[in-house]
């Protein structure tokens, strides 16, 4: 059955408006077509509010009867924080649904399409399958693997350094690169870093963008011994931005822990493996918090550990045309003997950002 590419593109573009705002739900777009015109459209709202299909139906009102719906993901068929979208679609009298991919969530996973067909609605699915799968890669991994999608961000000089020998690291990249990092922060659920980065840079790890609705991610600090300074920007802003410190489950200093809690920080414990906090257990914990995408913004130890443990899905690598020499390499803690054992990347884009370059790549598993 033919469908109009332009209408599906509109649904795809609408879905992007929900990026970074709907976790743990997927961000979806929907349009309703009557007499070859859009009479209703919508995109997924923050968790607990309208799904894309409901927004589109509310806008279309009575015009939805005998109309067509274009939607990027299979409509849900179960009660969650909102009623099933398929029931609303059936009640509105939609005659045809053109859909993207099947929902990987086993609560849906074909049940939505089945219910629509049983109600006499024509369903054409599998449209733009590759594009939609990439668009919803955070959600799909979260559902299938039961841990968040992990992005690693690094900003380095041409020779791979994150600082000079005196630990000066501001600024490696230019303003445009830093703006893009803030856009990325605005769509992730959490930023993961270590106490070394906090001590060296005293960052805020917030979102600083103009004319944009800001979504400050939860700040995750790996600090085995609770060394973080009470004067650090992280502690000073803990009452404004949710911050969780993960420490070792051994040698707990309850007095120090209670002091940090009084400043608004949440303290959690993790088992240690060879002196390092268990990163897989960390991701399991974040999955249980309903985080489906997290970003690692850290120094060599944590960046290297995530890579060595095969926990990184995608890299955003910002490269400045500078050489500073020395030993402060971003992946200093990875020691590979054979080139055949090196970590390989599947590069998807290389962009020029003023004087810098941004490489985006997937880790080959």
Integer angstrom CA distances of residue 64 from 31, 34, 54, 82, 189: 10, 7, 11, 20, 35
Residue 329: DSSP 8-state? B
Catalytic annotation, pick one of 41, 53, 68, 74 = 53
Q: Residue 92: which of 50, 61, 130 has the closest Cα?
A: 61
> 175 catalytic, yes or no?
no
Whose CA is closest to 345, among 318, 319, 330, 365?
365
Distance, CA of 360 to CA of 365 (rounded, Å): 16
Token pair 């893009």 in the structure block, residue: 180
The answer to whether 64 and 57 have CB atoms below 8 angstroms apart is yes
154 torsion bin: left (phi>0), alpha (psi -120 to 50), beta (else): beta
- In this structure, the strands spanning 29-34 and 37-43 are antiparallel
Q: What are the catalytic residues?
A: 53
């Amino acid at each position: 059955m033919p469908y109009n590419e332009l209408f599906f593109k509109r649904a795809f573009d609408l879905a992007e408006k929900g990026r970074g705002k709907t976790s743990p739900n997927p961000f979806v777009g929907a349009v309703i077509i009557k007499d070859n015109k859009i009479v209703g459209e919508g995109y997924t709202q923050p968790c607990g509010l309208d799904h894309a299909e409901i927004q589109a139906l509310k806008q279309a009102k009575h015009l939805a009867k005998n109309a067509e719906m274009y939607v990027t993901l299979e409509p849900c068929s179960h009660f969650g924080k909102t009623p099933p979208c398929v029931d609303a679609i059936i009640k509105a009298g939609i005659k045809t649904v053109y859909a993207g991919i099947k929902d990987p969530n086993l609560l849906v996973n074909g049940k939505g399409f089945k219910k629509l067909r049983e109600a006499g609605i024509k369903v054409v699915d599998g449209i733009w399958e590759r594009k939609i799968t990439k668009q919803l890669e955070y959600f799909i991994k979260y559902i299938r693997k039961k841990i968040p999608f992990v992005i690693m961000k690094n900003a380095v000089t041409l020779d791979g350094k994150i600082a000079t020998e005196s630990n000066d690291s501001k600024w490696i990249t230019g303003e445009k690169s830093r703006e893009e990092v803030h856009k990325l922060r605005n769509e992730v659920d959490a930023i993961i870093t270590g106490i070394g980065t906090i001590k060296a840079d005293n960052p805020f790890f917030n979102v600083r963008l103009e004319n944009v609705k800001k979504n400050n991610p939860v700040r995750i600090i790996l600090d085995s011994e609770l060394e973080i300074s009470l004067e650090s920007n992280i502690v000073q802003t803990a009452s404004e931005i949710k911050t969780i410190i993960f420490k070792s489950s051994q040698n707990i200093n309850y007095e120090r822990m209670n002091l940090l809690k009084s400043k608004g920080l949440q303290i959690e414990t993790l088992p240690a493996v060879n002196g390092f906090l268990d990163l897989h257990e960390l991701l399991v914990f974040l999955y249980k918090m309903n985080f489906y995408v997290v970003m690692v913004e850290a120094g060599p130890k944590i960046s290297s550990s995530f890579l060595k443990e095969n926990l990184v899905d995608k890299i955003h690598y910002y490269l400045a045309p500078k050489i500073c020499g020395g030993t402060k390499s971003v992946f200093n803690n990875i020691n590979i003997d054979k080139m055949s054992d090196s970590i390989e990347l599947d590069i998807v884009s290389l962009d020029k950002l003023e004087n810098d370059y941004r490489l985006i790549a997937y880790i080959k598993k």
